[in-house]
Amino acid sequence: MTDYRDIYDGVHASNPLYALAEGSPGVRLCWEHADRIRLVRGRSLDVGCGAGFVVAMLSGYPFERDAHGVDVSQVAIARAQERVGPRCRLMTHPTVPHDDDSFSLVTCFDVLEHLDEDDIIAIRDEMLRVLAPGGVLLCSVSCRAAGSADKHGDNLHRTVRGPEWWAELFRPDEYTVRRAERDMILWRLPGA
């Protein structure tokens, strides 16, 4: 089993870009989809929250949500807790430390491709477990290799698959593929 905590503690500690909100794909996507996100009422959870930028953003204007986050990296969670307090919690992969049906919005931005295939299935199931009936799951994934390697020399994007593979795995009722950026955004909406 891959020790994601060890890998991403090192990534967060050594790469200053992970400490900048302007480098966060989740922040960019929340602003792009702000009108739709604001329609979802209730609590939100950002899986793989990193330094907590999405949690902080969704907690403030114009979203004003009861926003929470989880991540496997102790370094990232320490930074997130400095930003938003205990609403960000350390998780032991793949278990999300929240109750079933706890959140009306679950987000996961540019995290899934960093996992091995079996672990993607496990975290997908955990996200669906904590998603309340009628809730919305919003994920983004990169469909390309990363430009950097982890401390073991492996590409940081451990699962590089095309949009069709991701669509089959998540069965979203809506998705967008951005060819220029080689990423995709998956929406699983109420009733899906």
Residue type, 43: R
Which residues have CB under 8 Å from 160's CB, separation 6+? Answer: 113, 143, 144, 145
Report helix angle 74-84 to 4-14, nearest 10. Answer: 60
Residue 30: half-sphere exposure toward Cβ, Cα within 13 Å: 31
pLDDT number for residue 173: 86
How far apart, in whole angstroms, are the C-alpha atoms of residue 6 and residue 72? Answer: 9
**Under DSSP, is residue 47 helix (H, G, I), strand (E, B) or coil?**
strand
51 DSSP assignment: T
Burial label, 159 (beta-carbon count in 10 A; 0-12, 13-18, 19+): buried
Question: What is the residue-level pLDDT of the chain in tens, covering all 192 positions?
Answer: 799 999 999 888 888 888 888 888 999 999 999 999 999 999 999 999 999 999 999 999 999 999 999 999 999 999 999 999 999 999 998 899 999 999 999 999 999 999 999 999 999 999 999 999 999 999 999 999 999 898 889 999 999 999 999 999 999 988 889 876 678 888 877 654
The model's pTM is 0.94
Q: Count of CB atoms within 10 A of residue 67's CB?
A: 25
The residue behind tokens 């080689």 is 182
* Best CA proximity match to 53, nearest among 102, 98, 2, 88: 88
pLDDT number for residue 144: 93
64 DSSP assignment: -
Enumerate domains of the chain plus CATH numbers.
Answer: 4-188 (3.40.50.150)
